[in-house]
Amino acid sequence: MAANRVCEIFGIEHPILLAGMGGASTPALAAAVSEAGGLGILGAAACGPKMLREWIDEVRSLTDKPFGVDTLLPASVRREGGGGNADGPSPMDLLPEHMKFAEEFMKKEGLTPPTKEQLAEHMGASGRAPGEPQFLTKEFFDAQMQVVIEEKVPVYAAGLGNPGPWMEDMHRNGTKVMAVVGAVRHAVQVVSSGIDVIVAQGHDGGGHNSPIGTLALIPQVVDAVGGPNGIPVLGAGGI
C-alpha cells in the first residue's frame, strides 16, 4: 500500500488506524496493529490515570512502533483557556435524565436492565484506582491528559472535543494530535487549535458523534479544511 502524508506524519507504513474503541482497543490489539505497519490506538476513555499509564507501558513492552491514546474531551467539562466554552451541564449532570430514558425504553421493549455491577463497569469504575477522580468529570479528563503529556505518547486522539488547551504541551513533546469530528464546524474548530490530522467520522460509525452519513461528511470536511495544502483528513465509519 502506497504511503501518504498520514504515514509521514505518524511514522507508519500503511494509512490504516485502529479506532480507539472503549473496551475493544486494548494494549494487545493496539500493539498488534502497530506491529503490522498501521497505527494502533488505545481506547482509553474509561481508564483512570493509573490504568492509563499501565496500558501505555504495556504497549511499549509489546512494540517499538508508533501508537496512540484515545480519550474524550467533552466541551462541557473542558478546562478553560483556548478550549472553547466550558459552560453548560456536565455529563454527570445529564446522567440521571439519560438513565431514566434508557430504563423506560428497556421496559417498553421487554429488555433486561443492567445490574449495578454492569453499570459500574460501564461508568468506568473498573478503570479507576481508589482515590482517583470520578469518571466523566473535569478532574478525570485533566488527570488523563496529564498522563498523556508526561508519557510523551507518539499520538493522541481526541475521540470527542477539542484538545486545544493541551496542544502546546503535546507538540513540545513531539506528540502528533488528531481529532474525530462529526461536522464541518467541528473540523474548523480543531484546525484553529493546530491539529495535525482530522478523522471525519459520520453516522455510519455507530451514530454516537454525527447525524451526517460518512460518505457525505468526508468530502465536506475535505473541502473545508483539507486539500493539497490543508490538514490531512482520514475517513471513518462504515468504510
Q: Read off the pLDDT of residues 225-238 as tens digits, 9 standing for 90 and up.
A: 987 788 999 999 77
Q: Read off the pLDDT of residues 80-91 as tens digits, 9 standing for 90 and up.
A: 444 444 556 666
- By CB atoms closer than 10 A (0-12, 13-18, 19+), residue 129 is exposed
| Residue 231, pLDDT score | 94
Pairing, β 197-201 against β 176-181: parallel
Taking the CA atoms of the chain, what radius of gyration do you get in angstroms?
A: 18
Of the candidates 15, 150, 161, the residue with the CA atom closest to the CA atom of residue 76: 161
| Residue 19, pLDDT score | 93
Q: What average pLDDT does the segment 57-74 reach? A: 96
Dihedral (Cα; 117, 118, 119, 120), 10-degree rounding:
50
Considering the chain, what is the average pLDDT of its residues? Answer: 87
**How many other C-beta atoms can be found within 10 angstroms of the C-beta atom of residue 119?**
12
Q: Read off the pLDDT of residues 92-145 as tens digits, 9 standing for 90 and up.
A: 677 788 888 888 898 889 988 877 676 655 555 567 777 888 887 889 999 999
CA distances from 2 to 34, 36, 132, 144, 219 (A): 17, 15, 44, 35, 21
* 3-class secondary-structure state, position 113: coil
Q: What average pLDDT does the segment 143-171 reach? A: 96
The pTM of this model reads: 0.82
Fold of 5-181: TIM Barrel (3.20.20)
